[in-house]
Structures are given as C-alpha cells and as structure tokens.
C-alpha cells in the first residue's frame, strides 16, 4: 500500500495531532510519499519524520490514497495536486469547519486499516474545467468547489455577458458571478444566497454577487453545458478570476469558459456518511438559536 501525504504549512499549534498522524502512517507499514514543501515543514515539526519518497512539483503522485492534512482549503489544493489521476483523497481535519475534511487524527488507525483492506467508501465529485482567451496562464484549470468572476476592489459595477452552449442567456450586472459544482454549493455559493445541491446532483449553479437587479437570481443548470462569461466595465481595465479560492487578475474584455471536466475527484467518506447529518452538524441546519 502506498500513501501520499499533503498538508498546509501553518499547523504549528496542532503539533500533537500532526505527530499522531505521522506515527499512525509510519506504523501502518505503508510506502509513504510526501509532497515536497509539506515534507520540509513536517521535518521542522516532527524531526524524526521520514518518507520513502518526496514528490516534487513536477512529479506524479503514484500512491493508492492521499491524506490531506488541514482544512477544506487544503483539501481543494490536494485535489489540484492529484489532478486527473483520481487518487482517493482522505481529508484529515486540523482546520476549522472540515466540510470536506471529515476525519480527525484519532480516526486514522482504523481508517488506515480500512484503506489496507480496500473497505473505504468513496464518492466521485464533479470538477469544473476552466479556460480563457486572456492570454494568461492558469496555474490551476480545475475547480472542485467554484469559479468566481469578481470586480476589483476599487472598480465600478461589472457587466458579465453569459452564454449557455452558444445561446445568449443574460447580462449580469453586479460585483461578480459564481459558478459552483454541487460540492461547492455549500461554500461561496451559499454565502450569496445560492441553493444547496446534493453532491451527487448532475448540475451546476450560477449565482450573482450583489446583483444590480432583483430579477437576477441563482440559476441551476445541467452539468453537460458549457458556460461562457464575457466581461466588460466602463471604469476598470481588469477583473479577478478565482478558481477554488486561488485568484489572478485578467484583462477586462476577456472571456472565461467553464464545463464539466472529463475526470473527477474521489473523496473518501465515512461508511455511515449522511448528507443530511453533515448539513446539521457542519452548517447547523435547522437549529433554532433563539
């Protein structure tokens, strides 16, 4: 069995959990790969940490499963690291919410045993593939959660001409627009009033940010369409494109296209995982706080 380890680099306050995770991984007898930057960080926290292989930025992950150590943001970066290989990802939560990273350090011994016997439960999640005519290289072209087109902080209202499969839809006027997967429907999309979608739903959702018109509402679309957004503004020369939280500046007048990727992300979940229970425990769904 091969296990790859990935994580964020700001976990000094969780050193006890990190040590517990490292000891469980080494005690499993697995061949251990580690992402290079995280490996350097781990050796600072746990000096006796050793890996069988260090995976550099341009190397491929060859493991049977990836452990993502951190929060949901770390999980998103782990998904980008895995890329098209669809290696199952286990989220070990040392962060805050842990919506995607639903395991804790104390779960690891039993979890690794289940991985070794092939008894883990996985769900395949939709990815958005992003392209643009802006002439700017995208460091990450795939989104597990969402793609957001956002005005610059000092800019005036942004106009976004939306097309669905080459058919004009409308022009959104406002601060921006979010295109989210079912997995990402509980993230940025939810914060702007978009609907929650079951992770297995074969759909995407478009939600405007601070729309200038009350007629601009979130829209659910089938996931086999191509969404094209052309930007324009009278007072700004650039806008922000955010792909799973990683943003860059693009020239105004650029077009951004999004479609469902040909591959997905395999998320390792508890065997008793229940979507409704997750909503209740993570998002306090239906809890009366009066």
Catalytic residues: 72
Evaluate the CA torsion angle 76, 143, 34, 248 in order and state its sign.
Answer: negative
4 by DSSP, 3-state: which? Answer: strand
What residues are paired with 241 via a beta bridge? 149, 248
What's the CA gap between 266 and 124, in Å, rounded? 4
211: CB partners within 8 A, 6+ apart: 172, 173, 174
For the record, the structure tokens of 202 come out as 């074969």
Whether 259 contacts 226, CB under 8 Å: yes
Q: Is residue 137 packed enough to be buried (19+ CB in 10 Å), middle (13-18) or exposed (0-12)?
A: exposed
What's the CA gap between 91 and 98, in Å, rounded? 8
Q: Where are the alpha helices (DSSP H) in the chain?
A: 15-27, 36-45, 72-82, 108-116, 188-191, 275-283
What's the CA gap between 112 and 115, in Å, rounded? 5
What's the CA gap between 167 and 116, in Å, rounded? 49
């Amino acid at each position: 069995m091969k296990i790859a380890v990935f994580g964020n680099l700001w976990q000094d306050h969780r050193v006890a959990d990190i040590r517990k995770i490292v000891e469980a991984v080494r005690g499993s007898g697995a061949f251990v790969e580690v992402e290079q930057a995280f490996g350097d960080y781990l050796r600072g926290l746990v000096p006796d940490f050793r890996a069988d292989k260090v995976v550099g930025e341009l190397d491929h992950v060859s493991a049977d499963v990836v452990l993502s150590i951190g929060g949901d943001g770390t999980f998103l970066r782990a998904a980008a690291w895995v890329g098209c290989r669809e290696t199952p990802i286990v989220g070990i939560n040392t962060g805050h919410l842990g919506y995607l990273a639903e395991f804790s350090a104390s779960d690891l011994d039993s979890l690794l045993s289940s991985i070794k016997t092939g008894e883990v439960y996985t769900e395949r999640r939709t990815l958005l593939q992003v392209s643009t005519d802006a002439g700017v290289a995208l460091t990450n072209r795939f989104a597990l959660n969402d793609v957001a087109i956002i005005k610059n902080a000092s800019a005036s209202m942004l106009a976004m001409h939306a097309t669905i499969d080459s058919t004009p839809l409308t022009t959104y006027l406002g601060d921006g627009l979010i295109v989210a997967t079912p997995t990402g429907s509980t993230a940025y999309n939810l914060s702007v009033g978009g609907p929650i979608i079951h992770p297995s739903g074969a759909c995407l959702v478009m939600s405007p940010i601070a729309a200038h018109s009350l007629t601009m509402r979130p829209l659910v679309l089938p996931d086999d369409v191509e969404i094209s957004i052309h930007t324009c503004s009278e007072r700004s020369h650039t806008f922000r494109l955010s792909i799973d939280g990683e943003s860059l500046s693009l020239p105004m007048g650029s077009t951004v296209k999004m479609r469902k990727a040909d591959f997905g992300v395999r998320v390792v979940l508890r065997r008793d995982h229940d979507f409704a229970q997750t909503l209740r425990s993570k998002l306090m769904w239906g809890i009366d706080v009066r």
